[in-house]
């Protein structure tokens, strides 16, 4: 574990003057913004855009197998 990435952990003698904690704080905020503004519908849309068309239809998937 990297204690310097945890803003609540003060075991490092350099933490008061270290820029790494600030950097990771900014990264944390940016990642939270992405997830706070993303819905499951958004993810489904992104996923469906990347998929090739299926090789079978939904009806074929529901057909009983012998």
Structural domain range at position 28: 16-62
Would residue 3 count as lying in a domain?
no
> Does the residue 45 lie in any domain?
yes
Task: Enter the pTM of the model.
Answer: 0.51
Residue 35: inside a domain, yes or no? yes
The whole-angstrom distance between residue 47's C-alpha and the CA centroid of its chain comes to 14
**Domain presence at residue 25:** yes
Arithmetic mean of pLDDT, 26-48: 91
For the residues 12-38, what does the mean pLDDT come to?
85
pLDDT of 7 reads 66
Whether 2 maps to a domain, the answer reads no
Rounded to whole angstroms, the Cα distance separating 32 from 22 reads: 15
**Number of domains into which the chain is organized:** 1
Given a cut of 80, whether residue 42 has pLDDT beyond it is yes
């Amino acid at each position: 574990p990297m204690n310097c990435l945890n803003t609540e952990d003060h075991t490092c003698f350099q933490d008061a003057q270290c820029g790494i904690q600030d950097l990771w704080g900014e990264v944390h905020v940016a990642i939270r913004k992405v997830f706070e503004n993303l819905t499951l519908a958004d993810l489904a849309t992104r996923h469906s855009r990347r998929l090739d068309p299926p090789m079978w239809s939904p009806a074929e998937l529901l057909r009983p197998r012998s």
